Amino acid sequence: MPAASGTPVAFVHVSDRQRALDFYVGKLGLVVRSSDPFGDFLEVGAALIRLTALPDYKAGAHPVFGWHVEDIEAGVRALTDRGVAFTIYEGFGQDALGIWTAPGGAAKVAWFTDPDGNVLSLSQG
């Protein structure tokens, strides 16, 4: 089977399964497709996120998953209204919403974290 015909799955590790589900389902609005003793599959359009709990997990500093959106400002405002806090990085020159615009304005990115510190993002352009 060619890999291109399968469903894409991103793996996101977390330290506390219920806390992660509260965030990904409650704040981000994702839907649980299925669960097993080891983790949960969350629907993300035509793809899936596999949340796997590892009790001693520590997140890295770089993004693990992101969404490309048509209107980043609307996306940031919608998530902010749901209680998601966007990260402002010192020296990046982000606007008050936390949106960074690339030189020339062709791309925009805003970053936020899940309760474990996994960096997630919205991008446009």
Write down the domain spans for the chain. 1-56, 63-125
Split at pLDDT 50, 70, 90, the class of 4 is: confident
Q: What is the mean pLDDT of residues 61-78?
A: 97
Architecture of domain 63-125: Roll (3.10)
β pairing state of 63-68 and 119-124? parallel
- CATH number for the region 1-56 comes to 3.10.180.10
Mean pLDDT of the chain: 95
pTM: 0.93
Tens digits of per-residue pLDDT, 6-28? 999 999 999 999 999 999 999 99
pLDDT of amino acid 3: 65
In this chain, the answer to whether the domains covering 1-56 and 63-125 adopt an identical fold is yes
What letter does residue 3 receive in the DSSP assignment? G
Give the separation between CA 72 and CA 69, rounded to whole angstroms. Answer: 6
